[in-house]
Structure 1
Amino acid sequence: MRRTERYPVSGANSLWQLYRTVPFWKVVKNFLVIQTARYCPFVSVKNWLYRTFLGMRVGDKTAFALMAMVDVLFPERIRVGKNCIIGYNTTILAHEYLIDEYRLGDVVIGDNVMIGANCTILPGVTIGDGAVVAAGTVVHRDVPPGAFVGGNPMRVIRDRYRTPEGPHAPGGGDPETRP
């Protein structure tokens, strides 16, 4: 389940009211830092930029691939654990601006998490320690520790603590014929 705070707006859609919620110069600074980090080939420099200028909590030995995009408006609401990989062109959002409201939610990514390329992490989710997120996944709810998830909508494909089931499991998913 996503944990977001909801803020109703009236009049024009919430994106038109952006600068009532976030200072203009904060957005400019964040944009410049994030665009620099997206193209930077040095993982340690990226992590330093995120920690120093955006207020993100990024664990040791975590690697953001080229083109990874963190939330421009509320990056300080993103926490990434130790020894994680954030795949190429993955987007991590801590906000949603909708027609009648905007929502904010912390994103917590545990330790030793691998997130594939082109994923979208929505606000208010937690990805547990040791989880693997397949490329192209939209993470719209929490991911249990050790789970392998994928798809859109996201689903658990395999859990580290449970034997896989289904037609592609050993024995065709039938418990009677499994080795």
Structure 2
Amino acid sequence: MRQTKRYKVDQANSLWQIYQTVSFWKVMKNFIFIQLGRYMPFLSVKNWLYRTFLRMKVGKQTAFALMVMPDTMFPEKITVGSNCVIGYNTTILAHEYLISEYRIGAVVIGNDVMIGANTTILPGVKIGDGAVISSATLVNRDVPPGAFVGGNPMQVIYTKEEMDKRMDDDS
């Protein structure tokens, strides 16, 4: 179950009321630094931009590939551990605007996590240490540590124990 906080709206859909929920200037600043980061070829500079200007928590030697899209409204709710690879064109959302409500939830990605290209991570999700997310996965719930998951909707392909056994068999 995703951990999000829900906020009801009574007039038009929640996205129509966006600047009542988050400052226009914050969104503009975040957008500029996210766009710089999306094209930045230097991983250490990209991580510095995200830590400094977006207030994301990013561990050492984490690599955000080209075109990764962190949440524009609430990037400070994203935590990524050390030694992770976030694949090309992955989207990490900490918010979702719906018709009658909007939801905000922290995204926590553990250490040594591999996230394949074109993955979407929804708000309120925790991805455990050592997890592997297949390309083009919709991460719509928590991922156990060490698991290999994939698909839309996401399914566990191998548990940590099954992955460990596969690694032992390959040795």
Q: TM-score range by the shorter chain?
A: over 0.9
Alignment length (residue pairs) = 165
Tell me the amino acid that sits aligned with residue 80 of structure 2.
Answer: V
Query: In the alignment, is residue 37 of structure 1 matched against residue 37 of structure 2?
Result: yes
Query: In the alignment, is residue 79 of structure 1 matched against residue 82 of structure 2?
Result: no
Q: Within 1, Cα distance between the matches of 2:43 and 2:23?
A: 28
Match of 1:175 in 2: none
CA RMSD after TM alignment: 1.3
Shift in Å, 1:159: 1.1
Q: What percentage of residue pairs aligned between the two structures are identical?
A: 70
Tell me the amino acid that sits aligned with residue 137 of structure 1.
Answer: T
Query: In the alignment, is residue 121 of structure 1 matched against residue 91 of structure 2?
Result: no
Distance 1:163 1:137, change over 3 A: closer
Greater share of residues in helix: 2
- Write the deviation string for residues 70-91 of structure 1: whole angstroms up to 9, x where unpaired: 0000000000000000000000
Tell me the amino acid that sits aligned with residue 137 of structure 2.
Answer: T
- Write the deviation string for residues 147-168 of structure 1: whole angstroms up to 9, x where unpaired: 000000100000121379xxxx
Shift in Å, 1:100: 0.2
- Write the deviation string for residues 2-53 of structure 1: whole angstroms up to 9, x where unpaired: 0000000011100010000111100000000000100111100110000000
Q: Give the alignment of 1:85-124 within 5 angstroms.
A: 85-124=85-124
Q: Within 2, Cα distance between the matches of 1:41 and 1:4?
A: 33
Match of 2:7 in 1: 7
SS at match of 1:149: strand
Match of 1:176 in 2: none
Query: In the alignment, is residue 21 of structure 1 matched against residue 21 of structure 2?
Result: yes
CA contact (8 A) 2:91 2:120 kept: yes
- Which protein shows a greater Rg? 1
Match of 1:177 in 2: none
Q: Within 2, Cα distance between the matches of 1:153 and 1:73?
A: 24
| 5+ long unaligned stretches in structure 1 | 170-179
**Runs in 1 of length 4+ with deviation above 6 angstroms?**
none
| 5+ long unaligned stretches in structure 2 | 167-171
- Write the deviation string for residues 87-131 of structure 1: whole angstroms up to 9, x where unpaired: 000000000000000000000000000000000000000000000
> What's the TM-score, normalizing by structure 1?
0.90
Query: In the alignment, is residue 154 of structure 1 matched against residue 154 of structure 2?
Result: yes
Distance 1:163 1:72, change over 3 A: closer
Q: Within 1, Cα distance between the matches of 2:55 and 2:23?
A: 15
> What's the TM-score, normalizing by structure 2?
0.94
CA contact (8 A) 2:147 2:163 kept: no
Q: Within 2, Cα distance between the matches of 1:104 and 1:160?
A: 29
SS at match of 2:162: coil
Tell me the amino acid that sits aligned with residue 103 of structure 1.
Answer: R
